[in-house]
Amino acid sequence: MQLSQDALGTFFAWAPLVILLAVVVVTWLAKRGEDAAVVPIGRSLSCARCGRRAHREQMVPQTEHGAVAWLCARCARGR
């Protein structure tokens, strides 16, 4: 059995669109159950050393070489 040039061309013309659609659907299905309000953007910061997240009021700004790094209280005391 041989494939015609038209059938092969049609297959390769539609394949990228079908793959993109499949990736979008799978991503949407994986992300739809997540709660976006768990960590509101802009309301918490991550410690520059340990990565612990806290509100801005609980973080200590440290200036190093002209850049501001936010540290949690535990890392700021251990400095």
In contact, 68 and 61? CB cutoff 8 Å = yes
Identify the pLDDT of residue 56.
Answer: 81
Higher pLDDT, 36 or 61: 61
* pLDDT above 60 for 39: no
| pTM, full prediction | 0.42
The CA distance from 26 to 40, in Å, is: 25
Tell me what the mean pLDDT of segment 6-30 comes to. 94
Identify the pLDDT of residue 41.
Answer: 57
Strand stretches in 1-79, DSSP E: 44-46, 53-55, 59-64, 67-72
Mean pLDDT of the chain: 85
Question: SS3 for 24?
Answer: helix
